[in-house]
Amino acid sequence: MSRFIQLHLLTSYPPCNLNRDDQGRPKTAKMGGYDRLRVSSQCLKRTWRTSDLFQSSLNGNLGERTKLFGIELFRYFIEKEIKFKNAIDWSIKIASIFGKPESPTDLRNKKTAAKEKIHGKLLQKWSSRNSTKIDFTKYSLKQLNSLEAIEISQLSFISPEEKKAAFELADRLIEDSDYDFSADVKLLRKDTQAVDIGLFGRMLADAPDRNIEAACQVAHAISVHPIVIEDDYFTAVEEMSEYRADAGAAHIGETRFSSGLFYSYICINRELLSQNLNSDTNLANRAIRALIEAAVKVAPQGKQNSFASRAYASYVLVEKGNQQPRSLSVAFLKPIKHPENSDYIRDSIVALKKQCESFDNVYGACADESYELNVPDEKGNLVGLLNFVAG
């Protein structure tokens, strides 16, 4: 079995703002001395793992990334008619297995007006958790404040097995309120049946021996050519103009965008993924198929309502082998530039394949097998690609 699966994708997006920085501009990077469009690896991974395609393919084998698991436990205890103090204490103890709890506000020496303000904010915060179906208005300031420790201080990936074990622990406490579960930190698992955790890993600062190393590495997608960020000036018109003789634009704004042909690189360690998934090779292959199909077909969600910049990959090169992986991004260190009537995609495909060939000529074969999906030349197909990577 080949250890590494490497994917090289070329995907063209029309005017878009797929992944924004803190000022609302499309993210960029300097490469080869030129500004390029960029979509971060974090954005890409979240796009793929939360896509309908990925979720439906792997339903029942997905984790939850959250800081709020404690509120789900609290609701469970309340529904079982457990007293507030026990419900909150037990919820915090179980949730804290996944990370340090947040610190409640120190209410000592607070004036009455300040306490009333804090109470109002906490009531609004917890009442906004609509899915809990809990009437938080019946709780005092002190009680609402103690709920703050239900939140853990960092996002944690929780697997279905760990979630099930946590609720089994909750049932034990309901049966025996004096049950000592200090040893139950072992409910954190080193292996998992959650493919998103197996693929993208998990870091637990408070339980490093239960960290899971990511089996999938994703590079930031970057345009193969220089780009310029443009401004779109727009207005929204007042439509009830009968009430104002001078009615016209009721809103004026601007948004930034650009377009580009992106090179993306993904490396999957099939051996490590299988190990993470408790040696379930069938599940590992399902995960690989779902991830690759999502990577080829699913676009980031940023500003899609404004630009409808959805796109499929125009070219995919997949490689399998046990050799040390390498990106082909250096093919675009010198950006693709075109005179009139040139073809960005075809020229980029030529550059990518030439770089692959150059590495092979110098270092020896960098993969045992490869498969191409080439839309411009209508070569290869998605089914063939997925069967090649995962059978």
- Read out DSSP for 257-313? EEEEEEEEEEEEEHHHHHHHTTT-HHHHHHHHHHHHHHHHH----TTHHHH------
Tell me: do 72 and 46 sit in the same domain: no
Q: What percent of the chain has pLDDT over 70?
A: 95
Listed residues 129, 158, 190: the one ending a domain: 190
In a domain, 319, yes or no: yes
- Residue 208, SS3 per DSSP: helix
Q: Supply the mean pLDDT for the chain.
A: 91
In a domain, 202, yes or no: no
User: Nearest-CA neighbor of 125 among 68, 204, 66, 205?
Assistant: 68
Measured in residues, the chain has a length of 391
Number of domains in the chain: 2
Lowest-confidence region among 71-80, 158-167, 175-184, 210-219: 175-184
Domain that holds residue 98: 65-190
In a domain, 356, yes or no: yes
- The token pair at 10 is 């070329």
In a domain, 197, yes or no: no
pLDDT greater than 80 at residue 338:
no
d(CA 49, CA 147): 30
pLDDT tens digit string along 72-99? 999 999 999 999 999 999 999 999 888 8
Tell me: do 27 and 81 sit in the same domain: no
d(CA 391, CA 388): 6
Tell me, what's the pLDDT at 191?
80
pTM summary value: 0.90
In a domain, 86, yes or no: yes
Residue 233 zone, left/alpha/beta (φ > 0; ψ -120 to 50; rest)? beta
Tell me: do 224 and 361 sit in the same domain: yes
In the chain, % helix, strand, coil (3-state, to 5) comes to 45, 20, 35
Residue 76 makes CB contacts below 8 A (sequence gap 6+) with 167, 170
d(CA 38, CA 260): 9
d(CA 355, CA 360): 9
In a domain, 58, yes or no: yes
d(CA 206, CA 315): 43
Tell me: do 149 and 108 sit in the same domain: yes
Tell me, what's the pLDDT at 340?
65
pLDDT tens digit string along 27-41? 999 999 999 999 999
Helices 382-390 and 281-297: crossing angle, nearest 10°?
150
d(CA 156, CA 99): 7
Residue 57 makes CB contacts below 8 A (sequence gap 6+) with 286, 289, 290, 293
In a domain, 205, yes or no: no
Tell me: do 261 and 374 sit in the same domain: yes
